[in-house]
Amino acid sequence: MEITSIAAIYILFWVTAAFIILPIGIRNHYETKTNMIEGQADGAPVNFRPLRVLLLTTLLATTGFILFYLNYLYGWITVDDIDFFGSRDRLN
């Protein structure tokens, strides 16, 4: 696998992990019983910590990518393993 492919796939893993991590632990002013600031949206987070999000996103993306790459190298799960409907047989 080329380095550009590795980088592109890792970025996809990272963005996906970001969407998974972003809502974890976020509380709004209703849940924390704090006063709203004028102009604040109802669902605006009170306790957003971007460095924590970046760290957890990077850890999740790196773990997922390592598993993906090891599967690429060793072939633990192949297309034939997940072809439940016999699609590959119909292509021949």
Residues 28-77: tens digit of each pLDDT? 888 888 888 888 888 888 888 999 999 999 999 999 999 999 999 999 99
Instruction: Please tell me the predicted confidence (pLDDT) of residue 91.
Output: 72
The reply to whether 50 falls in a domain is: yes
The domain of 70 spans: 3-80
Q: How many domains does the chain have?
A: 1
The reply to whether 88 falls in a domain is: no
For residue 92, what pLDDT band results from cuts at 50, 70 and 90? low
What whole-number distance in Å separates Cα of residue 85 and Cα of residue 40?
50
